[in-house]
Structure 1
Amino acid sequence: MQPPATNAALLIIDMQQGMNQPKLGRRNNPDAEVQMERLLGAWRQSGRPVVHIRHISRAPGSVFWPGQPGCEFQPALQPLAHEHVVEKNVPDAFAASGLERWLHARSIRQLVIVGVITNNSVEATARSGGNLGFEVTVVADACYTFDQSDLSGRLWPAEDMHALSLSNLAMDYARVCEADKILVYCERNSHARG
């Protein structure tokens, strides 16, 4: 993996309060938020760009329906005033959101993606980013998903959904690594500048 460039963007996907709703079911990676916070702290300390992506649903029963507390960002991952916020209505954060234009305007070529749901919005966004020519890294331990039933009714554990989604991405669209690996690069970079 290439070290994150000084303008590599951290994309934090859908870390809204609605993700804590029990109706979403059992999840994997219980420490994912801790890893996200570590990465966010490193990005802020190094002055790299942070993009917060918020899902605004068009489905009335959704935890992300406008005007509900579920739409709000989780307190530990609140955007700062100067950090970019993108709103989306579909899983892919690039679809009709202006994100690609915003990144190109700042000559950003590297994206580090964290958040939820691994096999939904994270995967959709990483696939688009890779297809659009960005150098995409998905941080495995800073993402999570939920148990999910397939079309035949078989229930698949969140751990399996997560692993298969990351494997799909690693084939053609993104690099997949752990938070510690990226944080080591960030730390080396800050020591080199200091």
Structure 2
Amino acid sequence: DFYADPNQKGPTLFSSWWSKTYSEIWKEWAEFGVPVVRPSNYQTVKLLKEEPASQIFDWGNSASEETASDHVKKGFELMVEEMKKWEEDEGDYTWANFKRTKIQHLVPQFNSFSVENVYTGGGSGILNATGSRHGASWRMVVELGPDIQAFGIYPGGQSGNPGSKFYANFISKWANGEYLNFNLRKPDDSDASLFITTFVPKP
């Protein structure tokens, strides 16, 4: 249905199926003994659609002659196997549980300062480009004019102190696709101020 919501299972099945199919198609290329850049997802899909009987899908070291259909079917079989094992080992394979988005601290070893298993949808390569480790971090919408209207969000929080309640206070809003009001304050606007610092001239 062209959605990748966190509670859906379709994105999980497609992601696994495509990953297995892609690996099957270019598996021989991994056996060349030298680094090889495999064709992109776009080029692979183009070949599948427009040249399904192309010799590029035929493995030279096998007795049979493979076509695009053979690789797609094999990818499906491997996907079914992976999902069965996932259910046995991990349980539910909804998209959020399978993708397991992680907001990682800039120092990778600081896992205790990271947030794991963020319940969110999206996926790499789509509008909500949120994968397991990379995604649309800073999101911002600004309307310019006499009165600037700005909305935005980012994963993390207002404080870099792990002991602060503001350390990760934006993550749930970011995961749900919510936005905060980023409008610039006017000099006399003191609503919702956390504190005020007053500078007193030296006598």
TM-score (norm 1): 0.21
Q: Mark the structure with the bigger radius of gyration.
A: 2
Q: Relative to total residues, which structure has the larger helix share, 1 or 2?
A: 1
Instruction: Return the structure number with greater relative CO, CA threshold 8 A, min gap 6.
Output: 1
TM-score (norm 2): 0.21
